[in-house]
């Protein structure tokens, strides 16, 4: 069983995401803040989680970005998914793809799709089409 970390301060989203990934066979652990998520990666080791799913705005506006930056510096090679409400605003998805790719993000997930329990994974390719079935991507070494 592969390990997955969800970092989100909203219990509703965390529960839906936990259930979704548990049904795919992942052992899910959670953290409420970017700091707590980073601490878990440090404690368990950079290779423990095969997937990290995070929100961006938690205890501070960019807590998720800071966590992702630190995880990238640690050479995390698993799949990174950012789930956020901000991706439902026009033009935000293309700009986010440009910005978040630098942090090792592989997919964006609009939280409106999480609330419907019909997750869509938006690949970081600028014109990449949404996919309905989650696939892990290994970071380039």
**Residue 138, in any domain of the structure:** no
At 14 the pLDDT is 95
Q: What Cα–Cα distance (Å) separates residue 111 from each residue in 8, 54, 77, 118, 131?
A: 12, 11, 24, 10, 15
pLDDT in tens, 58-108: 877 668 889 999 999 999 999 999 887 666 666 777 777 778 888 889 999
Domain of residue 112: give its range: 3-123
Domain for residue 42, yes or no?
Answer: yes
Query: In the prediction, which pLDDT does 141 show?
Result: 46
Residues in the chain: 141
The number of folded domains in the chain is: 1
Assess if residue 112 is contained within a domain. Answer: yes
Is 101 inside a domain boundary?
Answer: yes
Q: Would you say residue 41 lies in a domain?
A: yes
Is 136 within a domain?
Answer: no
For residue 114, the domain's CATH number is 3.40.50.2300
Structural Rg of the chain based on CA atoms? 14
Q: Is residue 37 assigned to a domain?
A: yes
Residue at 131 is within a domain: no
The 10 Å CB-count burial string (b at 16+, else e) for 23-32 is eeebebbbbb
What is the per-residue pLDDT across 100-117, written as a single tens digit (0 to 9) for each?
Answer: 888 889 999 988 899 999
């Amino acid at each position: 069983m592969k390990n997955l970390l969800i970092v989100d301060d909203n219990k509703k989203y965390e529960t839906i995401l936990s259930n979704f990934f548990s049904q795919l066979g992942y052992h899910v652990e959670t953290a409420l803040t970017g700091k707590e998520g980073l601490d878990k990666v440090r404690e368990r080791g950079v290779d423990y989680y095969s997937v990290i799913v995070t929100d961006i705005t938690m205890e501070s506006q960019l807590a998720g970005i800071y966590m992702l930056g630190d995880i990238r510096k640690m050479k995390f090679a698993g799949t990174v998914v950012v789930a956020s409400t901000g991706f439902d605003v026009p033009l935000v998805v293309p700009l986010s793809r440009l910005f978040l790719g630098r942090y090792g993000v592989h997919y964006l997930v609009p939280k409106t799709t999480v609330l419907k329990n019909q997750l869509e994974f938006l690949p970081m390719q600028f014109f990449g089409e949404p996919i309905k079935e989650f696939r892990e991507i290994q970071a380039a070494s």
